Amino acid sequence: MDDFLVIDHVSKTFGTQRAVDDVSLTVAQGEAFSLLGPSGCGKTTLLRMIAGFERPDRGRILVGGQDITALPPELRPVNTVFQNYALFPHLSVWENVAFGLRMSRRPREEIRSGVDRMLELVRLSEHARKRPAQLSGGQRQRVAIARALVNRPQVLLLDEPLAALDLKLRQHMLMELNTLHEQVGTTFIYVTHDQGEAMSLSDRIAVMNVGKVEQVDTPENLYETPRSSFVASFIGDANFFTGVAVELQHEGYVRVQVEGLGSPLVLSHGTVVPNQTLRLMVRPEKISLTLSRPPSGERVNAFRGVVEDMAYFGSHTRYRIRAGEHSILAQLQRSRFSGGGIDPARGAEVWMSFHPDEGRVVRLEGDA
């Protein structure tokens, strides 16, 4: 079933602010899906509407074909892992996990076995009698996940699940969440502002900005073929140039005249008309740096610049290169053993080049 969770033209306004603006999404059963965006983009409001804490002003939300828009949270086949975990401080770990089953008045034996099995799954059996306050951050989070999953929700919502953890633990929990998702096979919906988290946790990501969905795609497609400059800059780093289409070629290639950079050839996914103003995007690591002019050809975009600044990151080095009024970010993988590496100093003159397939036409900000 490809449309297990359906968000159908949902809008929500707080006062004068449109928190969620006519959003439509579908999520498949068992999918790991992320709502990604900066704070205030509406992702949390959308999550709270799926959970039932907010009612949409317009639109419908369906789970497994059932319209749940009007249902209160307690009647929805959906459970949430809250950002601060919201564990009940007066109950033990075991009782926290049992809470949902007790509320649905399951038989005592079923509660016992269900809670025990779930605590085993998140490896907290030996902490069952402790209070949440006695646990570490990572353990608390696993309690929160167990407390939600024990109810066998059709959709599990996770609100910034890793935000409260330190870096080391975050990387560890990232793997653990992926493993858990594979084990239980439930539909997971993550809300996060961290693109790295979203990329490594999800099958697909909806990138949101000011209440709207900018693009829904796989992590790879979002990175390689972002459709808007917002998506391009939110997911990874990007260089942007504005120019005018001067020559349309076959298979979507278009030559764009950019003030101060000549006329690079790039790839466009939409229709482009001559003399149209376009925005180009090139990822820093797609730009090659050479000391001399690269062999020229139809398929090479090359320009000259001066190294303005550089920063060493261990696995790679970043350069800020000035070319006319453009300031371009380039990134070199650095390995002592890779041959042919160059090491330009500040003030050095270098050539930048990229293949036409690595340059993309993206939507201008504010374009529909």
Partner 1 sequence: MSTRLRPARQWLITLPSLAWLGVFFVIPAVLVILTAFRPADLQGGVGPGWTLATLKEVQDPAYLPILWRTFWLSGATTLICLALALPVAFQMAHSGERMRQVLLLLVVIPFLSNFLIRVFAWKSLLHPEGPLTKLLIALHLIPENAVLLNHAGTVLLVLVYTQLPFAILPLYAAAEKFDFGLLDAARDLGAGPLSAFSKVFVPGVRRGILSAAVMVFVCCLGQYVIPQMVGGTGDEMLGSKIAQRVFSDRNLPHASALAGGLMLAVLLPMLVVVLWQQFGRKEAE
Task: List residues near partner 1 by CB under 8 A.
Answer: 51-53, 72-74, 78-80, 82, 84, 86-91, 99-100, 103-104, 131, 133, 147-148, 151
Beta carbon nearer to partner 1, 35 or 148: 148
| Closest by CA position to 81, among listed 10, 158, 27, 139 | 158
Q: Are 56 and 46 in contact, with CB atoms under 8 Å apart?
A: no
State the DSSP code for 174. H
Half-sphere exposure of 219 (CA within 13 A, CB side): 15
- Minimum distance from CB of 23 to partner 1 (Å)? 21
What 3-state DSSP class applies to 135? coil
- Minimum distance from CB of 130 to partner 1 (Å)? 11
Q: What are phi and psi of 118, to 5 degrees?
A: -70, -40
**Residues across the chain:** 368
Beta carbon nearer to partner 1, 1 or 103: 103
Residue 48, token pair as written in the block: 């709270």
Beta carbon nearer to partner 1, 121 or 329: 121
| Closest by CA position to 46, among listed 27, 66, 28 | 27
- Minimum distance from CB of 259 to partner 1 (Å)? 52
- Minimum distance from CB of 52 to partner 1 (Å)? 8
Beta carbon nearer to partner 1, 92 or 171: 92
Beta carbon nearer to partner 1, 95 or 194: 95
State the DSSP code for 364. P
| Closest by CA position to 71, among listed 54, 52, 56 | 52
Beta carbon nearer to partner 1, 71 or 121: 71
Strand-pair partners of 241: 280
What 3-state DSSP class applies to 237? coil
C-alpha to C-alpha distance for 111 and 94, rounded to whole angstroms: 10
Q: Are 78 and 68 in contact, with CB atoms under 8 Å apart?
A: yes
Q: Are 317 and 331 in contact, with CB atoms under 8 Å apart?
A: yes
Half-sphere exposure of 250 (CA within 13 A, CB side): 0
Q: How far is CA 134 from the centre of its chain?
A: 33
Q: What are phi and psi of 61, to 5 degrees?
A: -125, 125
Q: Are 160 and 110 in contact, with CB atoms under 8 Å apart?
A: no
Beta carbon nearer to partner 1, 90 or 168: 90
Beta carbon nearer to partner 1, 51 or 198: 51
